[in-house]
């Protein structure tokens, strides 16, 4: 599968210190990562033999003293392959399309935690 990618886009990225008192009353947040794919019709950079698809990663990652949350996306063009519905994407293709978003999330988390905590940043394991 030949993929040409646009730049990743950061819609939201939040670093929040955990408020354990608030969590006692309202519940502890839970880690959740959600990847979705949306086919893009009539995309400017795609021919009739290509597929344009947007990968979107929405996440909440609960760590010991902080919560990272946000939304990232990336538009990709799958060259010389027409995909008409998301069910045509197998697990391997979905992982390949989403991989840059997880790389960006790891980098953002590392950089922000390194600055915020004034110590080596946190590496996420996926």
Please report the sign of the dihedral spanned by the C-alpha atoms of residue 104, residue 109, residue 112, residue 115: negative
Q: Per the structure block, which two tokens stand in for 115?
A: 């600055």
With contact defined as beta carbons under 8 Å apart, do 40 and 52 qualify?
yes
- How far are the Cα atoms of 5, 28, 116 from residue 72, in angstroms, in the given order? 14, 24, 21
Residue 22 lies in a domain: yes
108/21 Cα distance (integer angstroms)? 27
Q: Given this model, what pLDDT does residue 48 score?
A: 84
Looking up residue 29, the CATH number of its domain turns out to be 3.10.420.10
Q: For residue 77, give its domain range.
A: 2-117
pLDDT for residue 60: 98
Per DSSP, the three-state class of 109 is helix
The 10s digit of each residue's pLDDT in 21-64 is: 999 999 999 999 999 999 998 778 778 889 999 999 999 999 99
């Amino acid at each position: 599968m030949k993929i040409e990618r646009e730049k990743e886009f950061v819609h939201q990225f939040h670093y929040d210190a955990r408020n354990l008192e608030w969590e006692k009353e309202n519940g502890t947040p839970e880690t959740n990562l959600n990847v979705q794919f949306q086919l893009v019709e009539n995309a400017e950079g795609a021919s009739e033999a290509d597929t344009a698809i947007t990968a979107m990663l929405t996440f909440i990652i609960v760590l010991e003293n902080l919560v990272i949350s946000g939304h990232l996306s990336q538009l990709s063009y799958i060259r010389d392959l027409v995909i008409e519905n998301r069910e045509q994407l197998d697990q391997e293709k979905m992982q390949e399309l989403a991989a840059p978003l997880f790389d960006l999330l790891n980098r953002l988390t590392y950089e922000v935690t390194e600055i915020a905590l004034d110590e080596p940043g946190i590496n996420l394991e996926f």
